[in-house]
Amino acid sequence: MSLRLVARSVSGLLLLGLSLFADSPTTQALAPRKDQANAGRERISFNENWRFHRTEFQTDDLAYDYRPDISLSSNATILKPWILASGNEFIKDPANRHVRPDGHPGGDAPIVQLDFNDSDWESVTLPHDWAIQGPFYTEEDPIIGGGMGRLPVHGVGWYRNRVTLAPADKGKKIYLDIDGAMSYAIVWLNGNLVGGWPYGYNSFRLDLTPYLEEGEDNQLAIRLDNPPDSARWYPGGGLYRNVWITKTDPTHVALFGTFVTSKDVSKKSATVDLSVRIDNGPEKRTIRVEADVYEISAKSGKIGKKVAEFPSQKIELSSSDSQSVSLSTQVKNPKLWGPPPTQTPSIHAAVIRLYDGKDLVDTYETRFGIRDINFTGEGLLINGERVQIRGVNQHHDLGALGAAFNIRAAKRQLDILRELGSNAIRMSHNPPATELLEMTDAMGFLVIDEIFDSWQKKKTISDFHLIFDDWYEPDLRAFMRRDRNHPSVIGWSVGNEVGEQHDDEAGAVVARRVVAVAKDEDTTRPITASMNFAKPDMPFPPTMDIVSLNYQGEGIRDSPAYSHLTGITTSPQYPAFHDKFPDKLIFSSESAAALSTRGTYIFPVTDGISAPVNETSGGNKAAEYVSSYELYSADFGSSPDKVFRAQDNNSFVAGEFVWSGFDYIGEPTPYYSGLSRSSYFGIIDLAGFPKDRFYLYQSRWRPDLKMAHILPHWNWPERVGQVTPVHVFTSGDEAELFLNGKSLGRQKKAEFQYRFRWDDVEYQAGELKVVAYKNGERWAEDSVRTTGPASQLRLSSDADNVAADGKDLVFVTLEVVDEKRYVVSDAQNTVTFAVDGPGELVATDNGKPNDVTPFPSKERNAFNGLALAIVRATGKGKITISATGNGLQTGKVVVRGN
């Protein structure tokens, strides 16, 4: 939150109480501080005390618009003409802005009235995903299939809450800031239609001021509407990100109103340019703009030393004016922002103050980074250093927690990705929670920020194509203005595999329109759209600043193992794109699309380096498993080994974003027809447990980490004497494998070889051990052994303390172990979790894509030896998490709520 400091340290005369019931006020106003009484701005969390109700099908006569999946009654009120005006601030040409018709349709609906009785509605705290608790649809042909996660995301959901206007707030602007509402949000206040925002991934602001009355009884009602075929993955449903009330002076820094850029960056100095847009109220006013640059402490995240100030500037604002001022300053010896491990992600803040004479009218903080990024045809240079992109694609869901954003769960994902050696994330395929970008800033991840999965051409019957023409401009501008100050964002992706790629000149025309809007917002970053089809000589690619390839770089269905497949065959395209666009940066925005089920091994194993999964090779359709030898891919995909080869053979390639970092809900390729409800693409499973592939990427991305990893596990009583290939991933360059102490040979890595494989090993129980070498020196070891039967449950937590703030979480890993405490890697025991003390179980998982036990269940099958429990503190004190299982010794772990 760019306003974090401001919200904490600045208050005003404003006392806005937000409460649902008069007898239980939850005044969240900040204590007033006399010295800054007129500092103007407060940003108050509005996540508590909501009432929620959902109907599976449309039962009211309200709708944003006609849609292929709903049949509206002839009485239906189409609200689109009123909603379109909510985007006006982000439409550049005044001629294209929408004139809102008179009146407040829907204002008479009982549900938006103050006296509507919502006491039997569910009480919810935001962020809230109405679908994640399930249950999963398990029937054939459900309304929501595996593609969207088999969860009840569709339908109409209403949220109600009350807003208080304190006497002291009269004359202030009061805004409702919604970070994400899935989808087609329409908002009423006191029976007045305030506005709305259809696209579920964008953040938006509505002005409540005209409709607020003094007192506590301002009734807010928000209607959301999710079509059943809105996406190719799980979108979630509801007010799934944070919601805020922002209060400002009538004269204030506009929404997303700052833009900080740096140029002429060196270790000695940098020029920092700041533009500030100021919205004025009804009175004519002269405003002095002052702004300073501070360092942000990496440790505390707080404002530190002042390192520069901008010259102050005066601006005359007429009634209801909106104007920008541009300021520039020099920072001497700037601490630069750059990705670890070779650089440090230093953060700065610009603090802007608006004065009317001596009165401080507004204070606004924007965090940014000083860095020089150069996108060249030979790769990415950050502050002059060539940095290879070791990226992953991430969907927005947080596994068992669904789409409901949670900082702790997102941080856990980033920590696991950092352990993997990843330095980059592509936000596939939509704007992320803004808090996630604050974390990528602080940790130094490089981000490709992406907004659309479709333009005019549809992928599903009710996806964004329905509203593209009306909304692409306001959505794109709002998204870019929100995210443009994040140093981690290095480029904008305006589309993913859009159908317009296939559309020759007509598609390029649309692309140029979208790109022109993006360039009008930001010329400091390249604009791109990811191409899984367009070839260098087609009209589409030249419209983009950088070449963003999905799967084409390494080739699609081009190697012998894929030759029996139908579908487009594409030879490796890196060289052709490089020849055609020698000065443009090239990277794989999606690579691999490898598939696997954690800890599952299927025989025989292909002897090639990459093969499509099918019933006779790597797959088991009945069980819905893909072998974790990590050689199998989707029909259009490739193994990691094949991708690495293509990259190393084309050294100009800037790197890759693997599809995908974590498994995510929906898109269960290749098992749409079974019960699967989450993906197989992840390097890490849905529960956050690394698959074997994790160590293959780690061996490449962290060459200095001494590591070796053996697969498969070694519990194969039914395979005695049978060939059971053993593969090893290591950052070493040589390795020797031992079975029960006997060497099975020492191997050296050849060029374009990324794994060691002993494909003729005959299984016998015991211990497999690998010793890896680098430059002739002993480097790392790993071993796996045949275990005894499951005998106990072992729990461990990823934190000792958990804040009792309703948001913090602790992730507890359960391992099924034998008597000697070795993990039984094929154990599937049913376990029951319990929480004693001031804590509660939020969800459980095991990373198995076709497990249809609802996520909140306390009972869960371990999957290949592991399960996960997610726990929240409800108060201070000792919280004991335990797990029991039939015939197994109980496991326990203690954490402290505080």
Ligand X SMILES: *[C@@H]1O[C@H](CO)[C@@H](O)[C@H](O)[C@H]1NC(C)=O
Question: Are the C-beta atoms of residues 696 and 594 closer than 8 Å to each other?
Answer: no
Please tell me whether residue 853 binds ligand X under the rule CB under 6 A: no
CA dist list (Å): 330 to 274, 298, 310, 723: 11, 22, 8, 67
Q: How far is the CB of 167 from ligand X (least distance, A)?
A: 27
Pairwise CA distance, residues 655 & 642, whole Å:
14
Please tell me whether residue 323 binds ligand X under the rule CB under 6 A: no
Residues 477-536 that bind ligand X (CB under 6 A): none
Please tell me whether residue 24 binds ligand X under the rule CB under 6 A: no
Residue carrying structure tokens 């699967």: 676
Burial class (CB in 10 A: 0-12, 13-18, 19+), 720: exposed
**Main-chain dihedrals φ then ψ at residue 756, nearest 5 degrees:** -100, 140
Looking at 24, 59, 119, 300, which residue binds ligand X (CB under 6 A)?
Answer: 119
Q: How far is the CB of 197 from ligand X (least distance, A)?
A: 27
Q: How far is the CB of 652 from ligand X (least distance, A)?
A: 11
Looking at 105, 135, 215, 575, which residue binds ligand X (CB under 6 A)?
Answer: 575
Q: How far is the CB of 606 from ligand X (least distance, A)?
A: 6
Looking at 24, 59, 74, 300, which residue binds ligand X (CB under 6 A)?
Answer: 74
Compare residues 631 and 771 and give the one whose CB is closer to ligand X: 631
Q: How far is the CB of 623 from ligand X (least distance, A)?
A: 16
The residues, any chain, with a CB within 8 Å of residue 389's CB and separated by 6 or more, are 380, 423, 424, 446, 587, 654, 655, 656, 657
CA dist list (Å): 53 to 58, 116, 135, 306, 380: 12, 13, 17, 49, 49
Q: Which stretch binds ligand X (CB under 6 A): 67-75, 355-363, 409-417, 526-534?
A: 67-75
Please tell me whether residue 73 binds ligand X under the rule CB under 6 A: yes
Question: Are the C-beta atoms of residues 495 and 468 closer than 8 Å to each other?
Answer: no
Q: How far is the CB of 648 from ligand X (least distance, A)?
A: 8
Please tell me whether residue 113 binds ligand X under the rule CB under 6 A: no
Looking at 113, 133, 192, 376, which residue binds ligand X (CB under 6 A)?
Answer: 376
567 C-beta neighbours (distance < 10 Å), count: 10
Looking at 23, 35, 108, 120, which residue binds ligand X (CB under 6 A)?
Answer: 120
Secondary structure, 3-state, 211-232: HCCCEEEEEEEEEEEECCCCCC
Q: Which stretch binds ligand X (CB under 6 A): 71-79, 93-101, 476-484, 851-859?
A: 71-79
Q: From 469, 288, 256, 492, select the one nearest 373 (Cα to Cα).
A: 492
Q: How far is the CB of 75 from ligand X (least distance, A)?
A: 4
Pairwise CA distance, residues 653 & 651, whole Å:
5
485 C-beta neighbours (distance < 10 Å), count: 22
Please tell me whether residue 649 binds ligand X under the rule CB under 6 A: yes
Quick one: DSSP state of residue 455?
A: S
CA dist list (Å): 739 to 370, 718, 726, 783: 53, 18, 10, 10
Pairwise CA distance, residues 400 & 842, whole Å:
9
Compare residues 496 and 633 and give the one whose CB is closer to ligand X: 633
Please tell me whether residue 59 binds ligand X under the rule CB under 6 A: no
Residue carrying structure tokens 């200095």: 704
Residue carrying structure tokens 């974090």: 4
Compare residues 530 and 573 and give the one whose CB is closer to ligand X: 573
Compare residues 374 and 523 and give the one whose CB is closer to ligand X: 374
Burial of 295-318, coded b for 16+ CB within 10 Å and e otherwise, reads bbeeeeeebbeebbebeeeebebe
Q: How far is the CB of 329 from ligand X (least distance, A)?
A: 21
Compare residues 122 and 469 and give the one whose CB is closer to ligand X: 122
Compare residues 645 and 872 and give the one whose CB is closer to ligand X: 645
**Main-chain dihedrals φ then ψ at residue 471, nearest 5 degrees:** -115, -10
With residue 243 as reference, give the H or E element that holds it. Answer: strand 243-248
Compare residues 612 and 670 and give the one whose CB is closer to ligand X: 612
With residue 647 as reference, give the H or E element that holds it. Answer: helix 640-648
**Main-chain dihedrals φ then ψ at residue 778, nearest 5 degrees:** -60, 135
Please tell me whether residue 75 binds ligand X under the rule CB under 6 A: yes
Q: How far is the CB of 788 from ligand X (least distance, A)?
A: 36
Compare residues 614 and 830 and give the one whose CB is closer to ligand X: 614
Residues 356-375 that bind ligand X (CB under 6 A): 374
Burial class (CB in 10 A: 0-12, 13-18, 19+), 392: buried
Q: What angle do CA 833, 836, 838 make, to 5 degrees?
A: 125
Looking at 243, 245, 253, 561, which residue binds ligand X (CB under 6 A)?
Answer: 561
Paired sense of beta strands 547-550 and 527-530, if any: unpaired
Residues 580-639 that bind ligand X (CB under 6 A): 606, 611-612, 614-617
58 C-beta neighbours (distance < 10 Å), count: 18
Quick one: DSSP state of residue 30?
A: P
- The footprint of ligand X on this chain (CB under 6 A) covers a number of residues equal to 22
Q: How far is the CB of 707 from ligand X (least distance, A)?
A: 25
Pairwise CA distance, residues 252 & 12, whole Å:
14
Compare residues 233 and 551 and give the one whose CB is closer to ligand X: 551
Compare residues 116 and 822 and give the one whose CB is closer to ligand X: 116
Compare residues 213 and 615 and give the one whose CB is closer to ligand X: 615
Q: How far is the CB of 639 from ligand X (least distance, A)?
A: 11
Please tell me whether residue 564 binds ligand X under the rule CB under 6 A: yes
Annotate each residue in 723-762 with x if it binds ligand X (CB under 6 A) or - if it does not, as one string: -----------------------------x----------
- Give Dmax over CA atoms of the chain in angstroms: 89
Compare residues 561 and 867 and give the one whose CB is closer to ligand X: 561
| Catalytic residue set | 497, 590
List residues bridging with 220 in a β-sheet: 161, 189
Q: How far is the CB of 375 from ligand X (least distance, A)?
A: 8
The residues, any chain, with a CB within 8 Å of residue 775's CB and separated by 6 or more, are 733
Q: From 781, 702, 103, select the one nearest 418 (Cα to Cα).
A: 702
Q: Which stretch binds ligand X (CB under 6 A): 112-120, 133-141, 161-169, 890-898?
A: 112-120
877 in helix, strand or coil? Answer: strand
Pairwise CA distance, residues 715 & 826, whole Å:
7
Q: How far is the CB of 633 from ligand X (least distance, A)?
A: 10
Compare residues 62 and 561 and give the one whose CB is closer to ligand X: 561
Binding site for ligand X (CB under 6 A): 73-75, 117, 119-120, 374, 376, 381, 561, 564, 575, 606, 611-612, 614-617, 645, 649, 752
